[in-house]
A = this chain, B = another copy of it.
Amino acid sequence: MTETAVGSKSEQAYAAVKARIVEGTYTPGYRLVLAKIAEDLGVSVVPVREAIRRLEAEGLVKFERNVGATVSGIDPTEYLYTMQTLSIIEGAATALSAPLIDSVAIARARAVNAEMRDCLEHFDPVRFTALNQDFHSVLFEHCPNPHMLDLVHRGWNRLASIRASTFRFVPGRAQESVKEHEALLQLIESNADADTIEQAARRHRSATLDAYLAQAKSI
């Protein structure tokens, strides 16, 4: 979405494989055979190889010498690491964005959050997840530090491949989440100081992580 899909074949391969991972066509553990992907995309193996390496650098695939590439795993430990890191960076990005968020964006976020509430009533976890991403995007999209923003996006991409294959509602957590969203919006509207916003955003994510881990442990 944010990437230039066309251009070099390498870019093309990168975008195509990434999309398949993020949307869940290639599930974790899936074996990425260079020659096969190359044939599918109608290109040779060299650009595919390059694309795979880029995805490796982003943590979406694991590449083993003389063995091949597989879509990165989803074990709870990995999820913990990613979420913990993301909570910290996203918290900071949100705090940096906050002063730059105008009332139009706030209204948009509030509308998204209302839709999320609907999803809870109609039990639509897939849409809920998509909206959740939209909501948070509004919060951090004005972050003036592009590096930080890039890291946030990478984190979301990693989580996307996880969610696409394992998502389910953690009991009660989604309801909490929607409430916390509203609280966050009010903090931003009232021009709360950066530390307060950062802590709130971070705790919001950490709570989701804790809920997931508690459930993962109980299975």
Contacts and interface: CB of A to CB of B under 8 A. Distances in A.
A85 B50 contact: no
Interface in A105-133: none
A77 B91 CA distance: 21
B81 A145 contact: yes
Interface in A122-152: 145-148, 151
Contact of A65 (B7, B80, B85, B145): B7
Given A8-B65, A65-B7, A65-B8, A85 B54 contact: no
Given A57-B57, A92-B88, A151 B151 contact: yes
Contacts of A7: 65
Interface size class of A (residues with CB under 8 A): 20 to 34
Question: How many copies altogether?
Answer: 2
Contacts of A82: 147
Nearest to A11: B65
A9 to B, nearest CB: 11
A89 interface: yes
A46 interface: yes
Most chain B CB within a 10 A radius of its CB, from A50, A58, A88: A88
Nearest to A148: B85
